[in-house]
Structure 1
Amino acid sequence: MIGIPLVFTAYGPRGDAPLLFLLSIHLPVMTIAATLMFERIEMAEAGHGRMPWGHFARRVSLNIVRNPIAIGIAAGALARWAGLSLDGPFGTIVRELADTAVPCALFALGMSLKRYGLRDHLGASSVIVVLKLVVMPAVVLVMARYVFGLPPVWTGVATVVAGASTGVNAYLIASRAGAGVGLACNAITLSTVAATLTTGFWLSLAGGG
């Protein structure tokens, strides 16, 4: 919710390729990892052994095609392939919806705190925030710049995205699993607030913008 518009603002068109590359890799990897964990937990609770690979592949595929972000990416790709234009009233509607998506999502998450509260998950949420906003971008920056030797723009985009607040996918996965929903909401909310203090630091350190 924050990383994408932040990259567009900081890096402009030069950040499009690395950002889209990261999104296209991140979503299936995250979905596969989450599905694998949930399936292992369910089978362990049921007292079963290893899961059949056919069953696992089917669950992963369903989770990917049902993911709202995957649906949005696929719809955009189809529109581009079909040569559809975002001019005129249709384009105005799409742009206005896009402009309201992030504020509405954050507002909804804020309202969810009324149900789950911050106090019960404050410790765990704080650990997640530190890992997400400090540890993860530091590791990405070191790997991108000193291990893989990526160009400055790619290094900057990767670091900024890694240091962005926890995304809404954490809430979607928790909701589907029926566990950790309150923790996911709190982590997203706290990391969004804390990212206002850490994002500028990673932007200046990573450079490339």
Structure 2
Amino acid sequence: MLLFEGIFPVLALALAGYITARSGFLSINEYQALARFTFNLVIPCLLFINMAHAEIPENFGADFLLAFYVPVLLVYCLTLVITRFFLKATGTLQSVLALGATYSNTTIVGIPLVLQTLGEQALLPLFLIIATQNLVLFTVATLFAERDQFDLSTLLASIARLLKQLVASPLTASLIAGLAFNLLGLPIYRPLDSALQLMSEAAIPCALFVLGTSLHQYRVGHQLKPAMLITALKLIALPLIMATSMLVVFDVTPLWAKTAILAASMPAGLSAYVFSVRYQTGQATIAAASVISTLLSLIPMTLVLLIVP
């Protein structure tokens, strides 16, 4: 009952967003504007203020990040092999689909779910994942996507452009700024701190509502087979390998381990779709996988919350 009560608000707000978009109560332009407001202003306030006040470990969570990205990269490579031999995918498409199988929706789904079920103390490991996920996975995906036409200058330009985009992103910039304030011990003017706290309280309901509206935009169509393959790798293979890494291979604090396994059980992140648009391949499959994995992710996330100590 407690688990259901923890997850119900997440589902209810996402459903409200879906119904609102589906019914036409809000136009496409209106809920896209809400999405921009959410990701460019409200969520950055949440990330900044929580990172600025977080108790950061001495080694910046290096052991935790290693334990997290080893299984992520293993599943990434596994997806490359499977999509090459079973879907006959090109090198670029393999990279796109592998990103869909490993990139977790740790912002829209992750922040509200972790906060609701594990509490504020679990936000720091989640923020470490959010802060590094784009850098690690987009860099790896770019390397594999462009391996067929490997050219060092082109590759370096792509990576430089990626780093520039990361720093310019409100999500990453807010995390970096919060980290700087934290490490340097810079004080935040109390009324400003209160204003940011007030703004950040809108992040969770807005993010969940936007998630619901985004589901309305996608259609599964004829991409069911590859989308189900990506979903199976994302919601079954990745959480199982992540659990092995966190609970058996590495010595990770129980709460941090549970946060990582829960993150691995989350649906495919929408950033994978952005990457597919960038390379103009696999968009329909990734969009379909985003929808299917969002709908089915309740099963592995519930199991993690119930079983993992």
When normalised by structure 2's length, the TM-score is: 0.56
Question: In 2, Cα distance between the equivalents of 1:187 and 1:144?
Answer: 26
Q: Secondary structure at the match of 1:166?
A: coil
C-alpha contact (below 8 Å) 1:109/1:189 kept by paired residues: yes
Alignment match of 1:105 (pick from 211, 218, 225): 211
Alignment match of 1:35 (pick from 142, 161, 172): 142
Deviations 1:159-192 (A, max 9, x none): 0000111112112212222222221211111111
Unmatched segments (≥5 aa) in structure 2: 1-107
Q: How many matched pairs? A: 196
Q: Secondary structure at the match of 1:2?
A: helix
Matched, 1:139 2:248: no
C-alpha contact (below 8 Å) 2:142/2:159 kept by paired residues: no
> What amino acid maps onto 1:171 in structure 2?
Y
Displacement of 1:54 in angstroms is 4.0
Displacement of 1:194 in angstroms is 0.3
Displacement of 1:107 in angstroms is 1.1
Deviations 1:73-99 (A, max 9, x none): 3465578757253535x6545533542
Matched, 1:152 2:254: yes
Question: In 1, Cα distance between the equivalents of 2:277 and 2:181?
Answer: 30
C-alpha contact (below 8 Å) 2:227/2:285 kept by paired residues: yes
C-alpha contact (below 8 Å) 2:242/2:264 kept by paired residues: yes
> What amino acid maps onto 1:95 in structure 2?
E
Unmatched segments (≥5 aa) in structure 1: none
Tell me which moved more, 75-84 or 29-38: 75-84
Query: Equivalent residues in 2 for 1:1-209 (5 A)?
Result: 1-41=108-148, 44=149, 49-52=150-153, 54-67=156-169, 69-74=171-176, 83=188, 85-88=192-195, 91-111=197-217, 113=218, 117-207=219-309
**Structure with larger RCO (C-alpha < 8 A, sep 6+):** 2
Cα distance change of structure 1 residues 125 and 153 upon mapping to structure 2, 3 Å threshold: same
Question: In 2, Cα distance between the equivalents of 1:106 and 1:157?
Answer: 23
C-alpha contact (below 8 Å) 1:140/1:158 kept by paired residues: yes
C-alpha contact (below 8 Å) 1:174/1:180 kept by paired residues: yes
C-alpha contact (below 8 Å) 2:268/2:294 kept by paired residues: yes
> What amino acid maps onto 1:119 in structure 2?
G
C-alpha contact (below 8 Å) 1:39/1:51 kept by paired residues: no
Cα distance change of structure 1 residues 74 and 151 upon mapping to structure 2, 3 Å threshold: closer
C-alpha contact (below 8 Å) 2:112/2:204 kept by paired residues: no
Tell me which moved more, 54-63 or 189-198: 54-63
Deviations 1:115-169 (A, max 9, x none): xx31311011111111111110110101111110212111101100001111121
Question: In 2, Cα distance between the equivalents of 1:70 and 1:175?
Answer: 21
Displacement of 1:68 in angstroms is 5.3
Question: In 2, Cα distance between the equivalents of 1:95 and 1:121?
Answer: 37
Identity of aligned residues (%): 21
Question: In 1, Cα distance between the equivalents of 2:283 and 2:229?
Answer: 16
Displacement of 1:198 in angstroms is 2.2
Question: In 2, Cα distance between the equivalents of 1:69 and 1:171?
Answer: 17
